[in-house]
Amino acid sequence: MAPANPPPAAASPRALTLGQTLAAARDNLDVALSRGALAAARADVLAADHAPLPVLSGKTASIDLQNGVGPGNVLGRKRIDKSIGIDWTWERGGKRQLRTEAAQRQADAAAADVQDVQVQQQIAALGAYYDLLAAQEKLEQVQEIARSAAQLASSSNRRVQAGDLAAQDALRTEIEAQRAQSDLQQAMLERERAVLSLAQATGLRAPLAIAGPWPALPPLATPAADYAALAEARPEVRAALARVQSAQAALDGANALKKGDVTIGASYDHYPGVSNRLLELRASIPLQWGYGYQGEIGRALASYTQAQDALEKARRDAALELQGLQQAALTAEQRARSYESDILPRARRVAENAELAFRRGAIPLVDLLDARRTLRATLLESIAARSEYARAAGAWTLQTQPALLAALP
């Protein structure tokens, strides 16, 4: 009898290209958080770029509590001095412009921070992409090795029964087959971990898979790259530079506090029995006696110095990181090419020759197993070398020529 609620079928993995992976990472939740900070910084620009609001005031005065205010309407007849006025502060020293400039440069820094987060998330996604691609290829190779080991163990058992092979050698082949099955389970686990890492980096739902073969990467630049010039174009350096400019504007704004703001105002008064149209004009300015805003200026100067130090650190770290990225990519490229063109073909030839010699009885079983182990280790090392090169070259390209990878499908 069939169960009432059969378990749902496993969902088919979503096949991703490198271009799709990078596009998803460019808009993941970490990037969304940085965009929220950018929206807040742009709102700060609007808050800074306005003059002080005028103040509307009203008052009643000269209320005679001893003799009374007289009969009649409160607004028109009673002897109460009523007035309505408006006051407005005139900011001197360019405070509004400097305040707005500081906020705008902070918004520029936040925009550069968004680009920096995008690059970092794309680098993480690119690494996860190649990890999954390597895990898939490793799984395929381990499956083939396990199948071959099982076939050898089966044929060895038949040869033992025919008296053509020692039982000790057949036992060795069974051990190799069991080890291959264990390696297969480990490879499957590594693939599942790589799927979860890619889902975390892109924000896409698992299960995921990689579509197609290893994508072609742009050629690497020569080691004589101008790291200082490349560092200036990086978003974290541009963000640090914008924060220096913001701190400079804030420092200028602190110095502008020495120029006192003038508050001007006017009032219209109404006092029955004296006059119905009285006008008052007034102006006020703070008396800066004994204090020249040394605290505000000192704080702004310290922030400016700190921003300059952060800029120098960002420039230095970016140049050193770029140099390390390129050197790592060039070294990984040489290693990957060495495995692809020399080491792996030799290991394949050795294994093929060992298979042929063993079938003809020219070598013992132990030599065949040793050749197979060498081929297996070389295959896995070749996959790791190719993945390392792809990660290093991709990180270098994202930091220096992101448009090349943005054009990928």
Q: Tell me the pLDDT tens digit for each residue of 328-356.
A: 999 999 999 899 889 999 999 999 999 89
Distance CA 335, CA 328 (A): 11
Which tops the pLDDT comparison, 221 or 343?
343
Q: Same structural domain for residues 269 and 283?
A: yes
Q: Establish how many alpha carbons lie within 13 A of residue 367's alpha carbon, considering only the half-sphere containing its beta carbon.
A: 13
Question: How far apart, in whole angstroms, are the C-alpha atoms of residue 218 and residue 375?
Answer: 30
In a domain, 2, yes or no: no
Query: Is residue 236 located within the same domain as residue 359?
Result: yes
Could you give the residue ranges of the DSSP H alpha helices within 87-234?
95-161, 167-202, 227-232
Give yes or no for residue 2 having a pLDDT over 50: no
Q: Which domain holds residue 219?
A: 14-51+92-142+169-258+298-406
| 145-198 pLDDT, tens digit each | 999 999 988 988 888 888 888 888 889 889 999 999 999 999 999 999 999 999
Same domain? For 253 and 371 the reply is yes
Helix axes 294-338, 365-400, angle to 10 degrees: 140
Residue 150 included in any domain: no
* Residues whose CB is less than 8 angstroms from the CB of residue 287 and which lie 6 or more positions away in sequence, other chains included: none
pLDDT band at 1 (very low <50, low <70, confident <90, very high): very low
Same domain, 32 and 77: no
- According to the model, what pLDDT value does residue 145 have? 92
Examine the fold and report which residue of 271, 292, 313 is the final residue of a domain before the chain moves on.
292
Please name the residues in contact with 12: beta carbons below 8 A apart, sequence gap of 6 or more: 207
Identify whether residues 84 and 227 lie together within a single domain.
Answer: no
Tell me, yes or no, whether 396 and 384 share the same domain.
Answer: yes
Residue 281 CB partners (closer than 8 Å, separation 6+): 265, 266
Taking all residues of the chain, what is their mean pLDDT, rounded to a whole number? 88
Residue 101 and residue 197 in one domain: yes
Query: What are residue 57's DSSP bridge partners?
Result: 85
Reported confidence tier of residue 377, pLDDT bands at 50, 70, 90: very high
Tell me the three state secondary structure of residue 188.
helix
Instruction: Note the Cα 300 to chain centre separation in Å.
Output: 30
Q: How many domains does the chain have?
A: 2
Are residue 63 and residue 119 in the same domain, yes or no?
A: no
Residues 195 and 305 in one domain: yes
> Could you tell me if residue 3 is inside a domain?
no
Contact (CB, 8 A) for 386 and 323: no
Q: What is the dihedral angle through the alpha carbons of 117, 119, 121, 126, rounded to the nearest 10 degrees?
A: 180
